[in-house]
């Protein structure tokens, strides 16, 4: 069984400040991990993914995440927040199934960016 | 452009009526998925399909039904048996062995 815990349902940062969104996972197999972003009333867009290659993964819009097996974490960071980063962010873990691999999502973190 | 289409964007129904949500993809993906999203609960898997004419229940399948007659299409029916149908519904697809899923824009269903 797999699970994802996102610490903090709401995070607020000032424009230009560091963004840190936390994700911890539990998985019975070596995990494949994902971060998705969702803008209001829209679908989810993939930010980045970890699939057992480099532990530091770079994604779109300046985001990156580091896989830490010892801490079972996959936190999302961005050095300098922009107003356009305000959205909801979801961490997910894959069951690494066959043709269809099921994703288990965290409950999401809403990022607010203030001036 | 390749992608996933969900229609309509907003849907309103009276309680007791069945309603079908459309999902079409032109990505040539084998697998398709339906999720339900409620505030503060993330996304929960309703049904998924690996190939045409085959589908499996997800974590919250009760009150829903699906069909997969064509590779491109995976419609979801919300039946009158679903106790709390008002939600945001998202369709996704993936290619075999890719693990990442691509999402459509979603349909917001309101039942009164």
B94 to A100: CB separation less than 8 angstroms, yes or no: yes
- Residue B1's pLDDT band (boundaries 50, 70, 90)? low
Chain mean position to CA B92: 7
Lowest mean pLDDT among A76-80, B8-12, B56-60, B93-97: B93-97
CB A47 within 8 A of CB A61: yes
pLDDT at A99: 66
Is residue B54 packed enough to be buried (19+ CB in 10 Å), middle (13-18) or exposed (0-12)? exposed
| Minimum-distance CB partner of B31 among A90, A100, A108 | A100
What's the rounded mean pLDDT across residues B41-67? 95
What's the rounded mean pLDDT across residues B10-37? 95
Close Cβ partners of A78 (under 8 Å, ≥ 6 residues apart): A18, A19, A61, A62, A63, A64, A85
CB A93 within 8 A of CB A33: yes
CB B85 within 8 A of CB B107: no
Q: Report the distance separating Cα A52 and Cα A33, nearest Å.
A: 9
What's the mean per-residue pLDDT of chain A? Answer: 93
Half-sphere exposure of A70 (CA within 13 A, CB side): 0
For residue A84, what is the DSSP state? G
- Express each pLDDT in B65-88 by its tens digit: 999 999 999 999 999 999 999 999
pLDDT at A27: 87
**B94: contact with A, CB 8 A cutoff:** yes
B42 to A108: CB separation less than 8 angstroms, yes or no: yes
**B93: contact with A, CB 8 A cutoff:** no
**Residue to test with chain B: of A31, A36, A44, most B Cβ within 10 A:** A44
pLDDT at A106: 95
A43 to B106: CB separation less than 8 angstroms, yes or no: yes
Instruction: Enter the tokens of residue B47.
Output: 């049904």
**A50: contact with B, CB 8 A cutoff:** no
A102 to B42: CB separation less than 8 angstroms, yes or no: no
Whether B101 has a pLDDT exceeding 90, the answer reads: yes
CB B93 within 8 A of CB B33: yes
Q: Report the distance separating Cα A67 and Cα B42, nearest Å.
A: 22
Residues of chain B neighbouring A9 (CB-CB closer than 8 A): 40
Whether B17 has a pLDDT exceeding 80, the answer reads: yes
Instruction: Enter the tokens of residue A39.
Output: 């803008």
- Residue A3's pLDDT band (boundaries 50, 70, 90)? very high
pLDDT at A95: 80
Instruction: Enter the tokens of residue B20.
Output: 């079908």
3-state secondary structure of A99: coil
The larger pLDDT score, comparing residue B94 to residue A100, is at: B94
pLDDT at B41: 85
Whether B110 has a pLDDT exceeding 90, the answer reads: yes
Pairing assessment for the beta strands B31-37 and B87-94 based on DSSP bridges: antiparallel
pLDDT at B40: 82
C-alpha distance from B80 to closest chain A C-alpha (Å): 25
**A44: contact with B, CB 8 A cutoff:** yes
- Express each pLDDT in A14-56 by its tens digit: 999 999 999 999 988 888 999 999 998 899 999 999 988 789 9
Whether B30 has a pLDDT exceeding 70, the answer reads: yes
Q: Report the distance separating Cα A101 and Cα A112, nearest Å.
A: 31
Compute CA distances A89 → A26, A73, A75, B110, whole Å: 18, 15, 11, 24
């Amino acid at each position: 069984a797999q699970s994802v815990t996102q610490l903090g349902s709401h995070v607020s940062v000032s424009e230009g400040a560091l963004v840190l969104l936390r994700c911890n996972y539990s998985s019975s197999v070596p995990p494949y991990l994902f971060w998705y972003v969702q803008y209001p009333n829209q679908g989810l867009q993939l930010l980045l993914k970890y699939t057992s290659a480099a532990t530091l993964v770079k994604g779109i819009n300046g985001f990156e995440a580091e896989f830490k097996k010892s801490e079972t974490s996959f936190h999302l960071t961005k050095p300098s927040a922009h107003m356009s980063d305000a959205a909801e962010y979801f961490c997910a873990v894959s069951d690494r199934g066959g043709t269809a691999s099921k994703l288990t999502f965290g409950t999401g973190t809403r990022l607010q960016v203030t001036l | 452009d390749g992608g996933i289409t969900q229609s309509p964007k907003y849907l309103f129904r009276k309680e007791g009526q069945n309603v079908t949500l459309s999902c079409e993809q032109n990505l040539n993906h084998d697998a398709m998925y339906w999720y339900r999203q409620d505030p503060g609960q993330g996304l929960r898997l309703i049904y998924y399909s690996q190939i045409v004419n085959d589908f499996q229940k997800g974590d919250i399948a009760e009150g829903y039904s699906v069909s997969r007659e064509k590779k491109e299409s995976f419609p979801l029916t919300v039946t009158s048996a679903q106790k709390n149908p008002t939600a945001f519904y998202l369709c996704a697809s993936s290619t075999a062995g890719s693990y990442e899923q691509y999402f459509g824009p979603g349909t917001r269903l309101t039942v009164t």
